[in-house]
Amino acid sequence: MVVLRYLRRTTGLPGAAWPLSVVEDTDELVALYLPKGTRFTQMRGAEPKVRVWGAWHLDTLRLMFPGRSYSVWLSWAGEGAARSFSYYYVNMEEPFRRTPIGFDTNDHQLDIVVQPNMSWSLKDEELFEEFVQAGHYSGDFAEHVRSEAQAVIGLVESRASP
């Protein structure tokens, strides 16, 4: 079991944390499992003491690639014979860093949702733009995230591995 934390860009303090099981940990891939119902925490507002507990909604395998500015989340819904692959989700984020308790990263808000038929859509594009307009993200940083997202979309459209 490890802890994956999203650190806040402004303070470096944890903004969210999940307990995950390690499925694989190699030089090329870290695969972590997050089962449906796992409790996690998110910090809300500027005050780091405001915690919101939630329960994860799908069985999810999170694939993290050293040095990459994204992770890929594969999710399944249902139980037994009714269990089916739902979608995969490309989360734009800082390359992960190892810590004594697991891994740290920082979410960049912009995400790509890919359906089983390989059609895709951007998620939280408006939120990402709000962060840029508010000055939380510089123009250069925003361009870097958009460029990384376009590269991932190219991989999806060519059906290449992430």
Residue in 36, 68, 123, 136 annotated catalytic: 123
* Kind plus residue range of the DSSP H or E element containing 17: strand 14-25
- For strand 59-64 and strand 51-55, is the pairing parallel, antiparallel, or unpaired? unpaired
> Strand pairing partners for 84?
77
Q: Does 36 participate in catalysis according to the annotation?
A: no
Token pair, residue 59, equals 């069985």
Distance CA 16, CA 155 (A): 29
Q: Three-state SS for 102? A: strand
Give me the active site residues, please.
123
